[in-house]
């Protein structure tokens, strides 16, 4: 896709993200039985982990209001590592490490696929996401008003 044809912003609601992740998990693990609530909590657990990372950052630094976060690997920051995100998802859902890890990967893949055709992805509740310029897998996230600390 040429730069001229690239969309400025791609919207992504939590409902769309939850539906996408749930469908992908069901396809990848056809022999497992899942409750809809378990699968919906994958996204909630990942976003909760991201929020905990923000709280840790705010607790251990004396910076002013946090409006922007640069991640090191998709939603992972120096204050919330990828394995910690997976553990949060496991706690939120009761799913195994393998399924929780797969679910988090689906969130990352969905955002990455949208960023392939748009400069930013606006995720409801989280904020506006763009690619970090100094990291292959990092994002710059302009936090929604809900998350600003």
- The size of the chain, in residues, is 149
| Domain annotation covers residue 2 | no
**27 by DSSP, 3-state: which?**
helix
For the CA atoms of the chain, what is the radius of gyration?
15
Distance separating alpha carbons of residues 80 and 102, to the nearest angstrom: 18
Report the pLDDT value the prediction gives residue 5, as an integer from 0 to 100.
52
| Domain annotation covers residue 115 | yes
| Domain annotation covers residue 149 | no
Report the pLDDT value the prediction gives residue 1, as an integer from 0 to 100.
45
- The residues that bridge with 118 in the sheet, in sequence order, are 7
Range of the domain at 88: 7-143
C-alpha closest to that of 97 among 110, 82, 108, 107: 82
| Domain annotation covers residue 90 | yes
Report the pLDDT value the prediction gives residue 147, as an integer from 0 to 100.
66
In this prediction, the residues of the chain whose per-residue pLDDT falls under 50 are 1-4
| Domain annotation covers residue 38 | yes
Torsion angle, alpha carbons of 138, 141, 147, 149, to 10? 90
Domain tally for the chain? 1
| Domain annotation covers residue 1 | no
Report the pLDDT value the prediction gives residue 106, as an integer from 0 to 100.
98
Report the pLDDT value the prediction gives residue 61, as an integer from 0 to 100.
74
Report the pLDDT value the prediction gives residue 130, as an integer from 0 to 100.
93
| Domain annotation covers residue 148 | no
Report if pTM > 0.85.
yes
Distances 64 to 61, 80, 92, 93, 144 between C-alpha atoms, Å: 9, 20, 30, 34, 16
């Amino acid at each position: 896709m040429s730069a001229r044809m690239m969309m400025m912003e791609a919207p992504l609601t939590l409902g769309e993200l939850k539906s996408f992740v749930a469908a992908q998990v069901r396809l990848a693990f056809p022999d497992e039985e899942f409750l809809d609530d378990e699968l919906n909590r994958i996204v909630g657990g990942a976003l909760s982990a991201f929020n905990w990372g923000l709280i840790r950052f705010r607790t251990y630094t004396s910076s002013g209001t946090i409006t922007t976060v640069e991640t090191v690997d998709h939603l992972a920051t120096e204050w919330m590592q990828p394995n910690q995100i997976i553990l949060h998802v496991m706690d939120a859902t009761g799913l195994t490490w393998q399924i929780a890890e797969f679910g988090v990967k689906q969130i990352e893949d969905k955002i990455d696929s949208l960023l392939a055709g748009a400069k930013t992805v606006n995720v409801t509740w989280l904020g506006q996401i763009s690619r970090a310029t100094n990291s292959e897998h990092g994002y710059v996230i302009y936090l929604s008003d809900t998350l600003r600390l």
